[in-house]
Structure 1
Amino acid sequence: MHEVQMDKMKKFGKTYVGYEYVQPILITIDPDLIKSVTITHFENFTDILNFKIEPKVTTLDTAGGTVWHVLRKNMSPTFSSGKLKGMMEPISEIANEMIEYLNQETPKNPDIDVKQLFQSFALETISQSAFGIKSDAFQNKESELLKHGREGFSSFVMHNFAESLLNLALNQFPGLLSYISLFPAAYYKLYDITANIMKQRLDQGIKKKDFLARLQELIEEIKENPNGEVGKNLTDEHITAQGAIFFLAGFETTANALATLCYNLAQHPEIQDKVREEINNVVDEFDGRIDYESVQSMKYLEACIQENLRMYPPATLHIRQCTKDTEIAPGLVIKKGMRVDFPIYTSHHNPEFFPEPETFNPDRFLPENEKTIKPLTFRPFGGGPRFCIGQRFALIEMKLAVAKLLTSYQINTSPKTKLEFDKGSPFLLSYPELVLRMNII
């Protein structure tokens, strides 16, 4: 799908109108129009979906209107610097477990499917940091949680004409959702896991300071003050749903980004050596520690992550629904009910925004060069007030994983190395595997 979007932009320019059946959709990578929709007139473009869904699947990324505002306001404190540091504490040890796993596996075969490796890392991170449980993801390849995570997004991929037609039908006739669920079975299983963990904590009087603890606080707030802001707008199901989406959103996208970053570093050993040198220097300054505090000083590593997110953004577009007729530019009126699409991959690969877009060049994102990047041309986490709430969590998690990995391993390509993207994925740059050769240093 990202290739289709690239072809359309080359043919029609930065802004054009497409159609689903007879429904027009404005499609643009023009940063001024994106700003107008996502920031200037945000109050008329708060929604993602143009139909109502049950509370059980109303997550931060699907909610709209007042429900989104209340959810966002009450979930944001979970990702403050203080709370974030506490949630990230287990990740350094999880990264050590990843290295131990590689130490076991590489003597048998140095060719490692890094997509699968980082799926295990992401699962263990979410399990311990957000849910307060250990999943043993590196050793247990038959883990139910691992299975649910892999199935969660793969269910949205269209594999044939019939599935494509069904996807279009659901978009055009949302009443069908009364008979066909838009969300995969894996999502509902993750919802049940979230609900069960919270119930167990409540029954046993367990107190923690993680993501689920915040959800429990909000549910208690509803009970204590049903007429307050939270109680009037949200149900227990709305809140429990945030646990399921935290898992899904943080699983596939993080694994996807970490694997493609390793792919880029394997193809550019001089850049990999430069990152490793920075990591070693910072570690020396922090008494050998790779943790939440030390990775903040790894600016070149962060630039590599950002450049990789530019080249291979896990999400290929984000969308908005218009809730009120709005003139977003002189003479350009978006009618109520019309959708606006903002292709991410296409923007990131536009040579006007990023010269030589197919070249992996982390220098673009060094602090001294970032001012040359026009706002809203780089949007791996979306843009405006609806940008991904877990952005900082994801970036720190990735920095910790790569810093640990590069202090122990040299990443190289292998004869088995190939990056082939799935066809029919409407909004993800997904791929089944990515094999790289890991050589211990």
Structure 2
Amino acid sequence: MFILLIPLGLLALTWLLIKLNRDYALASFTRKIKTIDGSPLEETASVVGGFWGSNFDLLSMNLEQMFYYSRVFAKTFKRGYIQYFLLNPVYNVIDAKDAELVLNDSRILTKGIFYTFLHPFLKTGLLTSTDKKWHTRRRLLTPAFHFNILTQFMETFKSESVKFIKTLNDILEKKDSNGVISLSELIPRVTLNNVCETALGVCLDDRLDGDEYRQRISEVEESLLERLKNPLMGFDGFYYNCAEGKKYLKSMEKLHAFSSGIIEKRRELLSKEMEQEDMNQNDVDETNPYRKRRYAMLDTLLRAEKDGLIDHAGICEEVDTFMFEGFDTTSMNLIFALMSLALYPDMQRKCYEEIQENIQGDLASLDTQQLNNLKYLDCFIKETQRVYPSVPGIVRECTSDIVFGGKLLFPKGTQINIHIYDIHMNPKYYDEPERFNPERFMAPQAEKRHPFAFIPFSAGQRNCIGQKFALMEMKTLLVYVIKNFELEPVTRPEDFRFHAGLLIRTKTDIQVKIRKRVAT
């Protein structure tokens, strides 16, 4: 009798598994993405198959292979595609229309699970927070990027640009100099100084640990990517007891110490400035409180602390967040912009002629209006950001079941991976997408393009709060470099391969050759 029950039991188990498989990716322990009308899923989206889903795809890959892993799917499927990882389905967006649906949907504001791996470092600041806390912090910080404040930052951007030009001249004056410079080494120093002095109100030149900060950021990023590769490392108990997790915690402690030092230094400076204001009220312009002294994003937070709107821990969250987001993203944009200027001398010449036409004399009087008049340089920067987006992808999470585009049902927990790199390289929106062509962004060609086909700063409610800051910083430094030097190519795109990261990365040292420009 018992022997007869065995095949019946197996039959029942098979029936149950078949039934469950309709709704669940069993090997990933997660619900499936389905169509609303019950039609075959493949008619609407492509599916990366296999019983084990994509759980072990990344395990044996290096960072370079991880980057191009997604590129293969984008070129193969040419539309949104679905993967299944442990506990979560993933919908991958490579089309501007899909990106618009996600980024404009108020139900999909929560950042993806990957961002929770950043919580020990950034806690829940503007990048990683959600719901009420995110809305509150966004409202609190938005005035810190008011036009009046950004205009004031021009003086710092110009000052740092002058220092950079001096550094380049010093390199050229060395007896053994061949004019070759490492952008990968020099540019991050400029952008970190800019962030610290403008947004945080502290000059970094007298701090010796700036280079270490940059190194620790790199270590944190590498540790997080190693965690992403291995499904087991998604569990905190496993990750923080292995070597990679311990390295992450060590790097994080150094980063926190660096930012805490900046906060305390600015707190002291602000206290002295406020005492001076009390002693001399006549210096305050009620219509523009930022006019008489340099203001910083950190000042907004420190004043909010006095009003009980944020505590010290919250200030640390936002300072760590802005430093993490603010210096390295701009660094990568500038590195690839300068490399591209060297690669395309005709475009470099156009940028130079535009600067000569719109900015008379030296650059001491350079202002935001003059920067705004540099339309071709605008297009050049945009094309750099299209081909080399500093952030190649962002992830959102569905916190409830969501009907997407009227066709798909995303179960709670679905991760939506918006591949900015692949959207920017989509031939549907850009002819010959791998060709560098700034004129793509001139009217009327740019006006006909889908607005979400170019999203280097994301878009929607959670777009980058510092994008105007970044663009002003980039344009200022580029104007100084183009005005003073001619750039010639050393590193070319065929010399390097990208590797996966929170930002677009390459292990290759990006170099150009400089020589003094003869004014024409």
TM-score using structure 2 length: 0.75
**Which of 157, 162, 166 is the aligned partner of 1:96?**
162
> Is the 2:181–2:512 Cα contact (8 Å) retained in structure 1?
yes
Question: Is the aligned partner of 1:238 residue 2:318?
Answer: no
> Is the 2:122–2:128 Cα contact (8 Å) retained in structure 1?
no
Separation in 2, partners of 1:104, 1:165? 43
Question: Is the aligned partner of 1:261 residue 2:337?
Answer: yes
**Which of 276, 279, 293 is the aligned partner of 2:352?**
276
Q: Gapped runs of 5+ residues in structure 1?
A: 223-229
2:111 aligns with 47
Structure 2 CA distance for partners of 1:298 and 1:167, relative to 1, 3 Å = farther
Separation in 1, partners of 2:189, 2:334? 12
Structure 2 CA distance for partners of 1:190 and 1:58, relative to 1, 3 Å = farther
CA deviations on 1:360-406 (whole Å, 9 max, x unpaired) are 11011124432122121111111211111110100110000000100
2:13 aligns with none
**Which of 67, 74, 77 is the aligned partner of 1:9?**
74
> Is the 1:348–1:377 Cα contact (8 Å) retained in structure 2?
yes
TM-score using structure 1 length: 0.87
Separation in 2, partners of 1:88, 1:177? 44
Separation in 2, partners of 1:267, 1:56? 37
Structure 2 CA distance for partners of 1:255 and 1:202, relative to 1, 3 Å = closer
Shift of 1:418: 7.0
> Is the 2:333–2:384 Cα contact (8 Å) retained in structure 1?
yes
**Which of 210, 220, 229 is the aligned partner of 1:145?**
210
**Which of 141, 151, 170 is the aligned partner of 1:85?**
151
Corresponding letter in the other structure for 2:109: F
CA deviations on 1:175-207 (whole Å, 9 max, x unpaired) are 667765767424323332233224433664567
Separation in 2, partners of 1:256, 1:30? 24
CA deviations on 1:13-48 (whole Å, 9 max, x unpaired) are 220111223521011122222222211x22343334
Corresponding letter in the other structure for 1:68: W
Structure 2 CA distance for partners of 1:38 and 1:287, relative to 1, 3 Å = closer
Corresponding letter in the other structure for 2:182: D
2:43 aligns with none
Shift of 1:56: 5.7
Q: Gapped runs of 5+ residues in structure 2?
A: 1-65, 276-293
Corresponding letter in the other structure for 2:297: F
Of 93-102 and 403-412, the range deviating more from structure 2: 93-102
**Which of 325, 335, 338 is the aligned partner of 2:414?**
338
SS at match of 1:19: strand
Separation in 1, partners of 2:486, 2:88? 51
Question: Is the aligned partner of 1:372 residue 2:448?
Answer: yes
> Is the 1:47–1:323 Cα contact (8 Å) retained in structure 2?
no
Corresponding letter in the other structure for 1:382: S
Task: Give the 5 Å matches for 1:391-406.
Answer: 391-406=467-482
**Which of 219, 223, 231 is the aligned partner of 2:305?**
219
Corresponding letter in the other structure for 1:428: L
2:377 aligns with 301
Shift of 1:422: 5.2
Shift of 1:346: 0.9
Structure 2 CA distance for partners of 1:159 and 1:220, relative to 1, 3 Å = closer
Separation in 2, partners of 1:80, 1:130? 12
Question: Is the aligned partner of 1:427 residue 2:490?
Answer: no
> Is the 2:390–2:504 Cα contact (8 Å) retained in structure 1?
yes
Of 203-212 and 339-348, the range deviating more from structure 2: 203-212
Corresponding letter in the other structure for 1:152: I
CA deviations on 1:142-163 (whole Å, 9 max, x unpaired) are x312320232144312699xx3
> Is the 1:149–1:251 Cα contact (8 Å) retained in structure 2?
no
Question: Is the aligned partner of 1:169 residue 2:244?
Answer: no
Separation in 2, partners of 1:416, 1:341? 29
Task: Give the 5 Å matches for 1:55-66.
Answer: 57-66=123-132
Larger radius of gyration: 2
Corresponding letter in the other structure for 2:134: W
**Which of 97, 102, 105 is the aligned partner of 1:32?**
97
Question: Is the aligned partner of 1:125 residue 2:125?
Answer: no
Shift of 1:302: 1.0
**Which of 390, 393, 397 is the aligned partner of 1:321?**
397
Separation in 2, partners of 1:271, 1:348? 21
Separation in 2, partners of 1:71, 1:44? 18
Shift of 1:80: 1.5
Corresponding letter in the other structure for 1:136: D
Separation in 2, partners of 1:167, 1:322? 23
SS at match of 1:90: helix
Structure 2 CA distance for partners of 1:291 and 1:2, relative to 1, 3 Å = farther
Separation in 2, partners of 1:81, 1:387? 17
Structure 2 CA distance for partners of 1:221 and 1:153, relative to 1, 3 Å = farther
Question: Is the aligned partner of 1:113 residue 2:188?
Answer: no
Corresponding letter in the other structure for 1:220: K
Corresponding letter in the other structure for 1:106: L
Shift of 1:275: 0.4
Separation in 2, partners of 1:199, 1:252? 25
RMSD: 2.8
Structure 2 CA distance for partners of 1:55 and 1:152, relative to 1, 3 Å = closer
> Is the 1:420–1:431 Cα contact (8 Å) retained in structure 2?
yes
Separation in 1, partners of 2:121, 2:490? 46
Separation in 1, partners of 2:383, 2:466? 19
Of 204-213 and 262-271, the range deviating more from structure 2: 204-213
Separation in 2, partners of 1:94, 1:287? 13
Separation in 1, partners of 2:346, 2:334? 18
Shift of 1:93: 1.5
